[in-house]
Amino acid sequence: MRLHHVALGNLRRRWSRAAFLVATLVIGVATVVTLLTMSRALTVQAQNELETYGANIVVAPRTDDLSLSYGGVALGGVRLQARELREADLSRISTIPNSRNVAIVAPELLGAVEAKGRQTLLLGVRPGDEFELKKWWRLDGRPPAAGDELVAGSSAARRLALRNGDTVALDGRDFRVTGVLEPTGSQDDELLITGLATAQRLLGKPGKITLVQVAALCSDCPVEEIAVQLGDVLPGTTVTAMQQVTKNRMHALDVFRTFSYVIAAVIIAVEALVVFVTMMGSVNARTREIGIFRALGFRRSHVTMLVLLEAALASVAAGILGYLVGMGASYLALPLFAEGLHVTVVWTPLLAAGAVLLAVVVGSLGSLYPALHASRLDPTVALRAV
Amino acid sequence: MTHVTAQTGAEDSLAPVLPSSPAQEERAARFIEVRGLEKTFAGDGAPVQALRGLDLVVPEGSFLGVMGQSGSGKSTFLAVLGGLSHPSAGEVRVDGIDLYGLPGERLADFRREYLGFVFQSFNLVPYLTALENVLLPLAVKRMPAAEKRARAIEVLGRVGLADRSRHLPGKLSGGEQERVAIARALVNDPPLLLADEPTGALDSETTTEVMELFAELHREGNTIVMVTHNLEIRRYFDRTVVLKDGRLEGGPPAGEAG
Ligand SMILES: Nc1ncnc2c1ncn2[C@@H]1O[C@H](COP(=O)(O)OP(=O)(O)OP(=O)(O)O)[C@@H](O)[C@H]1O
Ligand SMILES: [Mg+2]
């Protein structure tokens, strides 16, 4: 028989109070674990994306008009089509010093067409290049091949009631729908996508393109340098390294993480208070018992230790449980934040250890005063009749 | 009684060294020594003077009954005697040790090594089995686990409850609970047993049973101080003092064996 046997006996045979304490701590630990796991998973996902997609660079005509933007890049008023690039100029891209880092060159022509009586954005692309560059596109169907075929973004498909295999007239000319994109969460969802040449003909802009997406597939390309080189060979353009976009998302994630820490801190503080109140109640309900301990020769420090031991034992259980619950919650909650992106929850022993440590620290901190209070109780209550 | 010389470890430092046999006899004659004991409770209203100047000497091996009406200060006296409650004035010596002169936590150590408490209304810890309750005083003592167990089983057998060791107090009768409490008081083999109304909640048959157990402990040489207002058990005491309004009344005068 040692002190921890007494503590265990109390936790086991008066389990309802212990269960409340454990449940309280589980909620807090689980929340913290979930927040940390999710921000970690989203960060890892963003980093993976950076590496997989490399650095995408967008080359667009320079403009002062910021009325429309696409893909994070401001475009001169699309309908006015003030400026365009010439498709023929694309060949110059292969002359830049870093040309071996250039994996894909995907020209795009953007314009407005009328479909089913509505103005709709039409994007002309080279399907092979475009679909390789936009690896995140999930297509239900196949890319457009021959002249009069198109693929619809998810929102456009919904708006125009288009399904795979339908036929739709664009500016009076019939197109067959060969596929529908799954939602991407970007402006791509609004587009009808067809072959570049078809779009040029339909929009009356032969040989013209609106912008060029360039993929430099390598994990640490000199993106800024490539961008400068592209600007040199394609005068009159704005060259934007799209890595910026992912970096912006990383920044948003940093904000999310900071926010998580603040929430976690608040939860921990509330938690410690609940532990404090619970333990104080427990101690006050046990004054007679504590009097007996003291009369039997427990020192004040033994009583303090006993209360802290009980809190610590409950906390360890809560830490383990909280970690498991938190990981489970991460699996459930992550899809809500990842929006179709492929994100995986990572199990780390460090976080498990951290969860247990957190529970023990919070449990012990909240119990510190109740434990000291218990040790100062008047032992003569043990002598009084009930 | 071999308690004093049998003490080991931490207990040694509590007991003054015993140089010679006459000194030892002198100590045995004045095993408990109470001088000018007063206890006043501050409380919310007027202060309550529970003890108003007690003087008492009890030789080793006595079975002292402390009697008196309800509210006369019996429990207060026992608490002060047992090192649970600091007196407002006066001093208490047990086996030559000035209880309230002990530094800090040593008073708790003194209770553990010198005293066995048997409380009014059993006072077992409800979530511990009979055996665990008996083991309780040993929980904070450095001693091999097997030895603790053996000792606890021995005293449980001694009070006739060897077969009830795994029962929780709630599953035991009043008399059985009382006997577990006595076993718990005995487990540390203490030189002094203090009992507050140990038969208060028992019927007369069980009372006799429990008192026979105390009488046997007395015959074996244990020193016992028992608080009660039950006149029927007076015959078990070899001396009796009566408390009235915080003062000793009647009984043999202080220092005289009963
Ligand atoms: N903690 C306390 N605070 C204030 N007054 C107290 C306290 N403990 C005891 N008293 C008072 O001291 C007096 C003596 O109480 P005590 O409990 O010693 O009596 P008792 O002789 O044991 O009575 P009983 O036979 O009913 O157990 C009573 O008047 C009681 O109200
Ligand atoms: Mg009393």
Instruction: Choose between A105 and A45: higher pLDDT.
Output: A105
CB burial class (10 A; 0-12, 13-18, 19+) of residue A203?
buried
Three-class SS state of B66: strand
Q: Is A288 on the interface with B (CB under 8 A)?
A: yes
- Say whether A302 and B121 touch across the interface (CB within 8 A): no
Ligand 1 binding pocket includes B71 (Cβ within 6 Å): yes
CA distance A61 to A236: 6
Q: Is the pLDDT of residue A11 over 60?
A: yes
| Chain A nearest-CA residue for B195 | A383
d(CA A4, CA A305): 9
**Greatest pairwise CA separation for chain B in angstroms:** 52
Nearest ligand, CA of residue A380? 1
d(CA A44, CA A357): 25
Residue B229 has pLDDT above 70, yes or no: yes
pLDDT of residue B2: 37
Residue that wins the pLDDT comparison between B253 and B93: B93
Instruction: Using the predicted structure, report yes or no on whether residue A251 has a pLDDT greater than 80.
Output: no
pLDDT, residue A79, reads: 44
Q: How far is CA A362 from CA A267, A299, B44, in A?
A: 11, 25, 37
Express each pLDDT in B44-63 by its tens digit.
888 999 999 999 999 999 99
Q: Is residue B3 part of a domain?
A: no
The reply to whether residue A296 touches residue B123, judged by beta carbons under 8 angstroms, is: no
| Minimum CA distance residue for ligand 1 atom 7 | B41
Contact A176, A165 (CB under 8 A): yes
Report the distance separating Cα A100 and Cα A263, nearest Å.
47
The whole-angstrom separation of Cα A347 and Cα B145 is 40
Specify the range with the lowest mean pLDDT, choosing from A165-179, B4-18, B109-123: B4-18
Q: For chain B, what is the domain count?
A: 1
Query: Could you identify the residue written with the tokens 């006799």?
Result: B208
Of A292, A291, A380, A290, nearest to B76 (Cα)?
A: A380
In chain B, pLDDT over 70 holds for what percent of residues?
Answer: 88
Give the whole-angstrom CA distance, residue A216 versus residue A20.
56
- What is the average pLDDT value for chain A, to the nearest integer? 85
Residue B120 or residue A352, greater confidence: A352
pLDDT at position A138 is 85
pLDDT of residue B250: 62
Strands A167-170 and B32-41: unpaired
Residue with the bigger pLDDT between A314 and A242: it is: A314
Residue A301: its chain B contacts at CB < 8 A? 105
- Average pLDDT on A151-173 reads 92
For residue A104 the two structure tokens come to 């894909």
pLDDT for residue A66: 45
pLDDT of residue A135: 76
Residue A16's pLDDT band (cuts 50, 70, 90): confident
pLDDT > 70? residue B11? no
pLDDT tier, A241 (very low <50, low <70, confident <90, very high otherwise): confident
pLDDT at res. B187: 94
- Which is the closest atom of ligand 1 to the Cα of B77? 18
Q: CB-side exposure of B199: number of CA atoms within 13 Å?
A: 23
Lowest mean pLDDT among A155-169, B19-33, B81-95, B99-113: B19-33
In this predicted structure, the answer to whether residue A215 has a pLDDT above a threshold of 70 is yes
Residue B43 in contact with ligand 1 by CB distance below 6 A: yes
Distance between CA atoms of B250 and B243, rounded to whole angstroms? Answer: 9
Task: Give the range among A93-102, A214-223, B22-31 with minimum mean pLDDT.
Answer: A214-223
Provide the CA A7 distance to its chain's centre, in angstroms. Answer: 43
Q: Which ligand is nearest to the CA of A378?
A: 1
Mean pLDDT computed over B143-162: 93
Least CB–CB distance from B136: residue in A296, A380, A385:
A296
- Residue with the smallest CA separation from ligand 1 atom 4 is B41
The 10s digit of each residue's pLDDT in A366-383 is: 999 999 999 999 888 766
Best probe of the A interface among B78, B127, B192, by most A CBs < 10 A, is B127
Q: Is residue B167 part of a domain?
A: yes
Under 8 Å between Cβ of A316 and A309:
no
Q: What is the DSSP string of A83-94?
A: --EEGGGGGGGG
Determine how β-strand B192-196 pairs with β-strand B223-227: parallel
Instruction: Assign residue B68 the CATH number of its domain.
Output: 3.40.50.300
Residue B76 Cβ inside 6 Å of ligand 1? The answer reads yes
Rounded to 5 degrees, φ, ψ at B230 are -85, 110
Q: How far apart are CA A310 and CA A15, in angstroms?
A: 11
Say if the ipTM goes beyond 0.85: yes
Q: B125 and A292 in contact by Cβ < 8 A?
A: yes
- Name the minimum distance, in Å, from the CA of A254 to any CA of chain B: 50
Residues of chain A contacting residue B149, judged by C-beta atoms under 8 Å apart: 1
A49 versus B148: the higher-pLDDT residue is B148
Residue with token string 């490399």: A54
Residue B28: its pLDDT value, please? 81
pLDDT confidence bin for A336, thresholds 50/70/90:
confident
- Percentage of the residues of chain A whose pLDDT score is greater than 90: 43
A135-149 average pLDDT score: 86
> Which structural domain range is residue B103 located in?
22-253
Residues A242 and A58 sit within 8 Å (Cβ to Cβ) = yes
Give the residue, B251 or B218, on which the prediction is more confident: B218
What 3-state class would DSSP assign to A184? coil
* pLDDT interval class at B168 (50, 70, 90): very high
pLDDT at A50: 63
Domain membership of residue B4 (yes or no) is no
Per-residue pLDDT reduced to its tens digit, A47-83: 666 655 555 788 888 765 544 555 555 554 444 445 7
- In this structure, what token pair is assigned to residue B250? 């009647």
Q: Is A25 or A340 the better-scoring residue by pLDDT?
A: A25
What is the secondary structure of B91-136 as a DSSP string?
EEEETTEEGGGS-TTHHHHHHHHHEEEE-TT----TTS-HHHHHHG
pLDDT at A109 over 50: yes
Query: Residue B98 pairs with which residues in a beta bridge?
Result: B93
Inter-chain touch A300–B108, beta carbons under 8 Å: yes
Which of A304, A310, A383, A384 is most worth mutating to test chain B (most B CB atoms within 10 A of its CB)? Answer: A383
Choice from B54, B74, B247 to test ligand 1 binding pocket (greatest atom count within 8 A of CB): B74
Please tell me the least confidently modeled range out of A18-22, A24-28, A134-138, B45-49.
A134-138
Average pLDDT over residues A275-285: 92
Average pLDDT in the A243-268 region? Answer: 78
CB contacts < 8 A, A to B, total 102
* Smallest CA–CA distance from A377 into chain B, residue: B84
Q: Is the CB of B246 under 6 A from ligand 1?
A: no
Selection from A179, A63, A171, A172 nearest residue A112 by Cα: A171
Q: What pLDDT does B5 receive?
A: 37
Contact A26, A325 (CB under 8 A): yes
Average pLDDT over residues A320-344: 82
- Of residues A25 and B2, more confidently modeled: A25
Most confident of the ranges A128-132, A331-335, A336-340, B131-135: B131-135
| Coil, strand or helix at A212 | strand
- Least confident piece of the model among A271-275, A295-299, A337-341, B66-70: A337-341
Asked if residues B247 and B34 have their Cβ atoms less than 8 Å apart, the reply is no
Give me the residues of A, 10-49, that contact B with CB < 8 A: 10, 12-14
State the pLDDT at residue B14.
Answer: 53
pLDDT classification of A220: cutoffs 50, 70, 90? low
Which residue has the CA at smallest separation from atom 6 of ligand 1? B41
**pLDDT exceeds 90 at position B240:** yes
Closest C-alpha to A125, from A111, A138, A136, A113: A111
Q: How confident is the model at residue A13 (pLDDT cuts 50, 70, 90)?
A: confident
Dihedral angle sign, alpha carbons of residues B51, B57, B60, B64: negative
Task: Choose between A46 and A295: higher pLDDT.
Answer: A295
pLDDT for res B258:
38
> Is the pLDDT confidence value at A386 over 60?
no
Within 8 A by CB and 6+ apart from B208, the residues are: none
Confidence of residue A134 (pLDDT cuts 50, 70, 90): confident
Residue B222 contacts residue B64 (beta carbons within 8 Å): no
Helix (H) or strand (E) holding A329: helix A300-338
- B227 CA closest ligand 1 atom index: 22
The span from the first CA to the last CA of chain B, in angstroms, equals 19
Q: With 0-12 CB in 10 A as exposed, 13-18 as middle and 19+ as buried, what is B97?
A: middle
Find the ligand nearest to B52 CA.
1
Rounded to an integer, the average pLDDT of B128-146 is: 93
